[in-house]
């Protein structure tokens, strides 16, 4: 088992990465505090792993909430359902919420934990690659509003992240590829050597070789932990983790959150960010080509022709990074270095979006 720490003073917590750890009572004893546990999962993940996890939680009182599957259930209604169960079972402030699932379950359960009695402890047990490399780390929790994605939420750090890489065995291939988009993102924003490692090892990752996956998860979490440790509340540097997201979120909202997986939209967004960086003179054409090639090898979409450019530009305007009416974007200074800027030619942004959309 591998471990690293998200350093946040009295709110620091471990990320444990290993095969089979959700079934290890001694480990859960150490990292799941309290006697009362609310296990939150969904209708796909619970039948696969809830029994294993509940069994390893031993003598604790374990109550389960099983949400319907999917992004459309990342809502305040799901949070209310979780809180109803906490209240009905008279769970106190010393209870622990355990989120077993992908980013949707993690975000909803984490937000319920942030709200219940003004905040109770929670543990992330991520089961998608995307959740293992990104959403389970860093304490962003929340739900969607009909007016936009993740518009309601709170920063609330987990007390531990328990990443059982064996859960990836059952992940559908398309979901694995979506997670790889976030892994590629880390190489692009912070680590050219890791990016080159991904180029050399993409097939091993697609074949789910445990050692390759464990390395990709570890390095991704290290990068995220480092950035979150310096800028928990996204006052600056943390925004770099949103490379490709302004473009990607616009695809997701323009398509009504159906059809495109989050990671797929981010994949296309990474290439658009690289292309706009080339237009701004901070990225060489051959580097943009490397980004396109790696995304293609990962089986990710590199354009969204069925989504009209005007609709995407409109949706970009309500992004959380808009400041004083200006869309700020994360761009690249070559592979391995990202920067946040509002200083780019408007025409170049429009031309980039038009080049990748219908
Ligand atoms: P998801 O949670 O919807 O999971 C994808 C699908 O895989 C679902 O159908 C799920 O039931 C299924 N699944 C999960 N684990 C499985 C397993 N081991 N075996 C078989 N099937 C499994 O989607 P996701 O990609 O994990 O997360 C996307 C969400 O994460 C979005 O809502 C996004 O906004 C959020 N997110 C949050 C952060 C953050 O910092 N909080 C960061 C990135 C993304
Ligand atoms: N996924 C971006 C962040 O956690 O900040």
H/E run at residue 34: none
Is the pLDDT at 216 greater than 70? The verdict is yes
- Rounded percentage of the chain residues whose pLDDT exceeds 90: 91
Helix (H, G, I), strand (E, B) or coil at 150: strand
R_g of the chain computed on alpha carbons: 20
Residue whose CA lies nearest to ligand 2 atom number 3 = 241
249-260: pLDDT as tens digits: 999 989 987 889
Measured CA to CA, the distance from residue 16 to residue 164 in angstroms comes to 8
Exposed / middle / buried, residue 90 (Cβ in 10 Å: 0-12, 13-18, 19+): exposed
Residue whose CA lies nearest to ligand 1 atom number 42 = 135
Q: Tell me if 157 CB under 6 Å of ligand 1.
A: no
Helix (H, G, I), strand (E, B) or coil at 256: coil
Name the pLDDT band for 324 (thresholds 50, 70, 90). Answer: confident
Contacts of 42 (CB under 8 A, 6+ apart): 66, 67, 68, 69, 73, 101, 104, 105
Measured CA to CA, the distance from residue 63 to residue 41 in angstroms comes to 11
**The CATH homologous superfamily of the domain defined by 173-356:** Dehydroquinate synthase-like - alpha domain (1.20.1090.10)
Name the pLDDT band for 319 (thresholds 50, 70, 90). Answer: low
204 catalytic? Reply is no
- Find the catalytic residue in 249, 278, 315, 321: 249
Topology adopted by domain 2-170: Rossmann fold (3.40.50)
Domain segments of the chain: what residues? 2-170, 173-356
Cα(102) to centroid(ligand 1), Å: 3
Tokens of 14: 């471990």
Average pLDDT over residues 97-105: 98
**Predicted TM-score of the model (pTM):** 0.96
Name the pLDDT band for 291 (thresholds 50, 70, 90). Answer: very high
């Amino acid at each position: 088992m591998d471990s690293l720490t998200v350093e946040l003073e009295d709110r620091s917590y471990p990320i444990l990465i290993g095969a089979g750890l959700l079934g290890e009572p001694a480990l859960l004893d150490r990292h799941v505090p309290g006697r009362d546990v609310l296990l939150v999962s969904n209708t796909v993940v619970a039948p696969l792993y809830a029994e294993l996890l509940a069994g390893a939680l031993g003598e604790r009182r374990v109550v389960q909430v099983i949400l319907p599957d999917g992004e459309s259930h990342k809502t305040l209604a799901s949070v209310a359902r979780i809180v109803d169960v906490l209240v009905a079972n008279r769970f106190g402030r010393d209870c622990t919420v355990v989120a077993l699932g992908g980013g949707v379950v993690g975000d909803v359960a984490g937000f319920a934990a942030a709200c219940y009695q003004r905040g109770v402890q929670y543990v992330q047990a991520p089961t998608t690659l995307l959740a293992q490399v990104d959403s389970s780390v860093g304490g962003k929790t929340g739900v969607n509003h009909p007016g936009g994605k993740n518009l309601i939420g709170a920063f609330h750090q987990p007390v531990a992240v328990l990443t059982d890489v064996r859960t990836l065995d059952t992940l559908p291939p398309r979901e694995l590829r979506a997670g790889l988009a976030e892994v590629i993102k880390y190489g692009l924003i912070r680590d050219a050597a890791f990016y080159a490692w991904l180029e050399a090892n993409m097939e091993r990752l697609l074949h789910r070789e445990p050692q390759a996956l464990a390395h990709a998860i570890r390095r991704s979490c290290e990068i995220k932990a480092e950035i979150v440790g310096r800028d928990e509340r996204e006052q600056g540097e943390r925004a770099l983790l949103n490379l490709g997201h302004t473009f990607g979120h616009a695809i997701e909202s323009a398509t009504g959150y159906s059809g495109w997986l989050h990671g797929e939209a981010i994949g296309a967004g990474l290439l658009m960010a690289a292309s706009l960086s080339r237009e701004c003179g901070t990225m060489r054409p051959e580097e943009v080509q490397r980004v396109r090639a790696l995304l293609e090898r990962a089986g990710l979409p590199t354009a969204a022709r069925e989504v009209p450019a005007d609709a995407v530009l409109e949706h970009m305007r309500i992004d959380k990074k808009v400041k004083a009416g200006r869309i700020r974007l994360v761009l690249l200074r070559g592979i391995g270095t990202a920067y946040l800027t509002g200083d780019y030619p408007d025409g170049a942004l429009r031309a980039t979006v038009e080049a990748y959309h219908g």
